[in-house]
Amino acid sequence: MSTQNSYQLADIGRHNPIFSQIRSTVETAFYANNMTHVPNVATAYELAVNGPGTVKTDLPIYRATDLGLPADAKMLVENTGKVVGRTAQARRILGTAGVDEADMAGRLRQAIYNAQNEHFIKTDVFVGLDNDFIVRAHLAIQDNYANNLLSYMLNFQPITKQYQDIFDNSVAYPEGDIYIYADPTYHDPDYPDGLAIFDPEHNVAAILGMPYFGELKKSTLTLAWSIAHRHGYVACHGGLKAFHFTDKQDQVFAMFGLSGSGKSTLTHAKHGYKYDITVLHDDAFVINRKNGSSVALEPSYFDKTNDYPMASNEPKYFMTIQNVGVTLDDQGRKVLVTEDLRNGNGRTIKSRYASTNRVDKEAAPINAIFWIMKDDCLPPVIKVDDPILAATFGATLATKRSSAENLIGNVDRNALVIEPFANPFRVYPLSEDYHDFKALFEDRHLDCYLLNTGYFGDKKVPKEVTLGALEAIVNGTTEWESFAGLDHMQNLKLADFPVDYDNPDYRNLVATRLEIRSNFIDHYQHTHNDRLPHETSDVLIKLQQQLKRN
């Protein structure tokens, strides 16, 4: 699959659905005299090294030349200010209630006009790493933010001959390339916390007033997922790993959870090297709805640094780092201070070499989905064997906010929230995701599991328990029991996490959490033109009634 950025003269105009007011406004800015094209990673690195806020550490980048970097390249640090996470409240998506295209286009024109005396740099990358799915994306950003442009090129796939050939030999679709215009210094007076304008049907976005790199990464993925969704793929904000066998069918597991849920830990876990494991990605991929194969969207990982002290092995694979400290070691070298000492949500672009078992496409069809929750009424592992209920739990995935998000106003970060399919970056109707995932469960006979990686009651679920459960599922050695007598739900029996099904307080807690989910659906039905099917509410209400009746 490939996109386009040049056209026959007869194909240019209002009649071509690729074009729109916002797209034309953004793309035009890319051709202005204040834009300089950055052709490769090495050039981007030299610009970033000389950036005004850059700290060039003394830590070498592993396999630098294989990544297109100079042989002596060092890890680069750049820090933002108060905001060190994504600002969801800044997003304005064309096609949603209250977002007027003419108004957004006017604000965007003003931002571009105000910046015409500023110098910008721009570059091109691929999103998607196989000819089954590969699209081209373009970024323009002020030159003072060269670190963000370098991180963008390292996070996605720079244009190389190998990947250009893959792109050229992929199926062409009637989609324009992705364009992202970013001006971190421009603040619309009506949007002091930042403004992110999305025109998803035309593959374009503008990120204004927000220097945090994650805004660029997720805006690009938002548009790429939207393209994939329109052309036969399920868009996935999660991780995927495969267990390969010679004497039985491969086991391909997809794990969906927000940042901080444990999805990366579970995806990359090597399980003591007891299995032949490959990893597709831990954050962004797409599933082919026809054959169940999967394609990674990025070669690298945008990982938290909190779990990686300098004495650990993982910093070896860091390339650029955001929002961390720097100090001197006993050899006088500038090194990192991680573990979120300076601030929350320290981040790094970590190279693909952090995964020795990495693949860009998983041809074996997916056969299990894990919804990662942080809901203290749930035991560590529950199996769901009904497609409607499985997809409904995905649509009402309950978790807690993480430090990756910049929350505006009086928001309780510890409150239970619903984030459907762990994907806050969806720009198409939720019902379409519901039907996509339900079809995977129904037509491809996928297994479904709920994983609680938070607390069960007041007892923390350690990662070793969750990893052990994954191994038991792979080995077929699990022992299940009915979960509170509820239809289509079985609890994995674990000695350290017994479930007191007869305790009325516990049953009421489970009922309350199910009610939170059904209330979410009810609220969605009354606040969106889109509608989830009634079966989603019906199945949750039935479970609540069973809890009260038994």
- Amino acid making up residue 402: S
* pLDDT value of position 451: 97
What angle, rounded to 10 degrees, do the helices at 213-230 and 146-155 form?
40
Whole-number Å distance between alpha carbons of 394 and 473: 20
Distances in Å between the Cα of 34 and the Cα atoms of 9, 142, 352 are: 26, 10, 34
pTM of the full predicted structure?
A: 0.94
Neighbours of 331 (CB within 10 A): 7
* pLDDT value of position 407: 47
For the beta sheet containing 55-60, the strands, ordered from the edge strand earlier in sequence to the opposite edge, are 55-60, 74-78, 318-322, 347-350, 301-304
* DSSP structural state of residue 358: B
* DSSP structural state of residue 353: G
Neighbours of 72 (CB within 10 A): 9
* pLDDT value of position 416: 77
* pLDDT value of position 413: 43
**Taking phi first (over 0 means left), then psi (-120 to 50 degrees means alpha), and beta for anything else, what does residue 98 get?**
left
Bridge partners, 157 (sequence order)? 126
Low pLDDT (below 50) residues in the chain: 402-403, 405, 407, 411-414
Whole-number Å distance between alpha carbons of 465 and 496: 9
* pLDDT value of position 412: 47
Q: Which of 211, 256, 224 minimizes the C-alpha distance to 85?
A: 211
* DSSP structural state of residue 405: B
Bridge partners, 277 (sequence order)? 243
| Terminal C-alpha separation, the chain | 52
Neighbours of 374 (CB within 10 A): 25
Q: Which distant-in-sequence residues (6+ apart) come within 8 Å of 438 by Cβ?
A: 387, 388, 390, 391
* pLDDT value of position 411: 47
Task: Give the residue ranges of DSSP H helices in 415-533.
Answer: 430-443, 463-475, 504-527
